[in-house]
Amino acid sequence: MVEGGRPGVADLLRELLLVRPRARRIGITGPPGAGKSSLVAHLATRLRARGEEVAIVAVDPTSPFTGGALLGDRIRMNDLATDPGIFIRSMATRGSLGGLAATTREVIDLLDAFGFPNIMIETVGVGQTQLEIQAAADTTAVVLVPESGDGIQAMKAGLMEIADVFVVNKSDRVGADRLVREIRQALLLKAGMASHDVPAHHGVDLSRAASGGGDGVANPPPEPPIPPWQIPVLKTSAGRGEGIDEFLEQLVAHHRHLTDSGLLEARREQRARGRIRDVVERSLRRRALHAMETDPRFSRWASEVGAGRETAYGVADRIIRAIFGRVPEGEPETQPEDDAGHRSGGTRSNVDD
Ligand SMILES: Nc1nc2c(ncn2[C@@H]2O[C@H](COP(=O)(O)OP(=O)(O)O)[C@@H](O)[C@H]2O)c(=O)[nH]1
Ligand SMILES: [Mg+2]
């Protein structure tokens, strides 16, 4: 219902989503073929072995979670799919009105409300979609592979900024160690640049906090601040099932860090902003499209624009005014119209705006 945007969904969501989010939301992102799905399958298996249920949302058209052998005999996706403690949902990256991000986030919220303690979100790490989806996760792991200069691409694509955990998968292939070094170097560089922005007194505070706690029986020192998260760079081979435990450990550790430091609340609030924006955008869009499609003057306006007697901007202004009663602030300025409904001047130059 949610994915299809069926009528009544808003009411349903209002009922269902008024619960405190509890799930660990883990985003796994990276280029196509990096082994994200394979890693997710491994992680899910590990979590199941601990008795934890797992929901998987795969927003990756290149390697859908369908039946068949994913990793030869090691893990069969079918085994996961028939486990009642695992819920797998593959979602297309395009199609639904208002974009994918909003719907995906709602699906994730639903899975959380349903009670899944772990939600894994697999996305292809490219472009805007990826960044939007990334905003839906608490913890983001970026998966790279040794071949094809992924390290540099990662930095270009802004993956450096979003990674809480780096994973170099396919470490059974050559070049894995080099890529690990490259990523560590890039992280150091980034940290070095960031430290220029830290005011001097921060260093003092930190060092005092670090040395405190020794003789504080009578006068206990204040709680030491949570040290910043150190982004780990891990090596895995989903093919051989290596490095998975460490990967899971770091994902769990990062989530604990978010909780302990209060960052989780901050990220949730950030996420809420995006959600509100999305819902407003979608509903305005729907309203606008409806207004256009049902306005009997629309086809006449269209033919005027087609014939060069009016601009799309002029018509848009009228439609927006029909919805809001006026053109909202921040919209391009409208110009007075004469009695015939044509602009009195400057119409053509608006086209280039
Ligand atoms: N050699 C090797 N191949 C792997 C490894 N992990 C995944 N693969 C293979 O890489 C291909 C893409 O894996 P998949 O998990 O679908 O990647 P995704 O597109 O990132 O989800 C599949 O053929 C996997 O069997 C690995 O660690 N080593
Ligand atoms: Mg995949």
Spatial distance between the Cα atoms of 232 and 178, rounded to a whole number of angstroms:
15
Is residue 287 located within the same domain as residue 246? no
Cα–Cα distances in Å, from 232 out to 108, 208, 310, 318? Answer: 26, 26, 58, 54
Spatial distance between the Cα atoms of 255 and 26, rounded to a whole number of angstroms:
9
Nearest atom of ligand 1 to the alpha carbon of 30? 20
pLDDT one-digit tens code per residue, 55-79: 998 875 544 444 333 433 344 556 6
Helix ranges restricted to H, 196-262: 200-211, 244-261
124 confidence band (pLDDT: 50, 70, 90): confident
Nearest residue (CA) to ligand 1, atom 1 = 170
Count up the domains in the chain and report the number.
Answer: 2
Cα–Cα distances in Å, from 301 out to 286, 313, 326, 333? Answer: 20, 11, 18, 19
Nearest residue (CA) to ligand 1, atom 9 = 35
Which residue ranges have their beta carbon within 6 Å of ligand 1?
Answer: 32-38, 60, 62-63, 71, 169-170, 172-173, 237-239
Is residue 251 located within the same domain as residue 297? no
Nearest atom of ligand 1 to the alpha carbon of 143? 20
Residue partners of 35: CB distance under 8 A and separation at least 6? 143, 145, 169, 170, 236, 238, 239
Is residue 305 located within the same domain as residue 257? no
The string of DSSP codes covering 164-185 is: SEEEE--TTSTTHHHHHHHHHH
Query: Is residue 94 scored above 90 in pLDDT?
Result: no
In this prediction, residue 196 carries a pLDDT of 66
Is residue 159 located within the same domain as residue 16? yes
Spatial distance between the Cα atoms of 195 and 44, rounded to a whole number of angstroms:
37
pLDDT one-digit tens code per residue, 175-192: 999 999 989 988 888 877
The pLDDT > 90 percentage for the chain reads: 33
Residue with tokens 């819920």, as numbered in its chain: 87
Any idea what DSSP says for residue 264? Answer: H
What's the 38 CA to ligand 2 centre distance in angstroms?
7
Is residue 329 located within the same domain as residue 231? no
On whether the CB atoms of residues 140 and 29 are closer than 8 A, the answer is yes
Average pLDDT, integer, range 197-208: 48
Residue 320 region, left (φ>0) first, then alpha (ψ -120 to 50), else beta?
A: alpha
Is residue 305 located within the same domain as residue 178? no
In this prediction, residue 345 carries a pLDDT of 42
In a domain, 352, yes or no: no
Cα–Cα distances in Å, from 334 out to 16, 208, 299, 321, 328? Answer: 43, 60, 21, 10, 11
Is residue 130 located within the same domain as residue 57? yes
The parent domain of residue 316 ranges over 279-344
pLDDT one-digit tens code per residue, 7-49: 888 888 888 888 888 999 999 988 888 899 899 999 999 999 9
Average pLDDT, integer, range 166-170: 95
Query: Is residue 340 scored above 50 in pLDDT?
Result: no
Nearest atom of ligand 1 to the alpha carbon of 173? 1
Pocket test for ligand 1, best of 36, 38, 40, 159 (most atoms within 8 A of CB): 38
Residue partners of 175: CB distance under 8 A and separation at least 6? 146, 147
Query: Is residue 6 scored above 90 in pLDDT?
Result: no
132 confidence band (pLDDT: 50, 70, 90): low
Query: Is residue 348 scored above 50 in pLDDT?
Result: no
The structure's pTM equals: 0.74
In degrees and rounded to multiples of 5, residue 312 shows phi and psi of -60, -35
